[in-house]
Amino acid sequence: MIDRRDAISAIIEATNPNDLIVASLGMISRELHAARDRATNFYMIGSMGLASAVGLGVALLNADRRVTIVEGDGSAMMSLGNFVTIGQEAPKNLLHIILDNESYESTGGQPSVSGNFDFSAIGLKTGYANGKTVSDLKDFSETLHSPHPGPYLLCAKTRLEDHQSAPPRVAIPPEQMMARFRNSLKD
């Protein structure tokens, strides 16, 4: 199992300055924001399950830039229908990362049912060009650094985290976040 903070750090390390990231609400956005906030990160606030839809739209409108969606298993399960649309639209610049801790961690750590199926297999069946599930940091990091035509679904099996050391909520007002992200699309 991978520590989610280590996974976030690996994503940051593999991200180029021009890359765009759409992060689901909750701990993922909080940890990404605390580790490296930048205008090209869009943090989903108050909209569980929509990171893949927003990320797809960003990828389709910015075909010359790599777009990474980072969401948890709970968010991904809420929007499995988006997998079909992503597969149909097939943006080659899209990397869809699911950090799967088999839990709705952001809402209190209730167990999810994601241990009963394989997200990457679902991605492949719905039209993703590539898919892989990993459970160790080395494999995760190597996959992030290797060329991968998209859409690519990368599922990382992660540990349930200790909330005692959770970073603070993203404090950027939504309007300001939207404006700075929109401005970063012009660069």
Q: What is the pLDDT of residue 187?
A: 65
Given a contact cutoff of 8 angstroms between Cβ atoms, the answer to whether 60 and 91 are in contact is: yes
Q: Say if residue 163's pLDDT is above 70.
A: no
> Distances from the Cα of 180 to the Cαs of 1, 40, 129, in angstroms?
35, 8, 31
User: What share of the chain has pLDDT > 70, as a percent?
Assistant: 97
> What per-residue string of b and e applies to 80-118 under the rule 16 or more CB within 10 Å gives b?
eebbeebbeeebebbbbbbbbbbbbbbeeeeebebeeee
Structure tokens of 183? 């401005």
Region 44-54 average pLDDT:
93
Region 95-113 average pLDDT:
89
User: What share of the chain has pLDDT > 90, as a percent?
Assistant: 85
Q: Say if residue 16's pLDDT is above 80.
A: yes
Region 131-159 average pLDDT:
96
Q: What is the pLDDT of residue 110?
A: 86
* Count: domains in the chain: 1
**CATH number where 8 lies:** 3.40.50.970
- Residue-number span of the structural domain to which 78 is assigned: 4-185
60-93 residue pLDDT tens: 999 999 999 999 999 999 999 999 999 999 999 9
Q: How confident is the model at residue 107 (pLDDT cuts 50, 70, 90)?
A: confident
Q: How confident is the model at residue 172 (pLDDT cuts 50, 70, 90)?
A: very high
Q: What is the mean pLDDT of the chain?
A: 94
